[in-house]
Amino acid sequence: MQNLILIGPMGSGKTTVGKQLAKRTRMDFVDSDHMIEERCGVSISTIFDIEGEDGFRRRETKMLSELCERSGIVLATGGGAITSEENRILLRKGFVVYLKTSIETQLARTQKNQNRPLLENVDAESKLRQLMTERGELYEQEADLVVMSGDRIVSKVVDEIMEALDR
Ligand code: S3P
């Protein structure tokens, strides 16, 4: 069974939507960042502190290549996963859903969680805008389906994905 891959920026709801989507499709839910933390025994922020972003990206690619060997999973990726060509090739094996959202929603969602090293000690709104300028086209280009996530009710977002899968 083809994997369902969720891509999109920080705070687009990949984990929340992914969990519900997995329930509805009776597939296993896997969160790449969470798996990296489990493997390393420390938070994403600590990995960035010790190994820098490059170290984190190496771990991320290794984890994605392991997870993409599996089948029948709903996979939530980190917001930067699509920046590497190697990762993009891996993710294309699945059905890729881009959860599109506004900067305002991203800001509100990311403020609740401190474990986002790219937003530490910077103006979060400018950083999110900058990342979207750099990555927005890549998300669109890699997506088999684009769904507005924003502040919609999660079940509606999942309904839309399910309808597209049925077609
Ligand atoms: C990142 C997004 C994060 C995490 C890391 C880097 C990014 O994942 O992988 O902090 O580069 O946008 P979420 O999108 O799940 O927050």
CB atoms within 10 A of CB 78: 23
Report, as an integer, the average pLDDT of 136-159: 95
Q: What is the pLDDT of residue 150?
A: 78
Q: What is the pLDDT of residue 50?
A: 97
pLDDT 10s digits, 71-121 = 999 999 999 999 999 999 999 999 999 999 999 999 999 997 778 999 999
Is the Cβ atom of 94 under 6 angstroms away from ligand 1?
Answer: no
How many angstroms separate the alpha carbon of residue 104 from the centre of ligand 1?
17
Q: What is the pLDDT of residue 67?
A: 98
Does residue 32 have a pLDDT over 80?
Answer: yes
Q: What is the pLDDT of residue 152?
A: 85
How many angstroms separate the alpha carbon of residue 111 from the centre of ligand 1?
13
Is the Cβ atom of 6 under 6 angstroms away from ligand 1?
Answer: no
Token digits for 86?
Answer: 């190697």
Is the Cβ atom of 44 under 6 angstroms away from ligand 1?
Answer: yes
Are the C-beta atoms of 28 and 73 separated by less than 8 Å?
yes
Token digits for 166?
Answer: 């049925």
Does residue 51 have a pLDDT over 90?
Answer: yes
Please give the model's pTM, rounded to 2 decimal places: 0.97
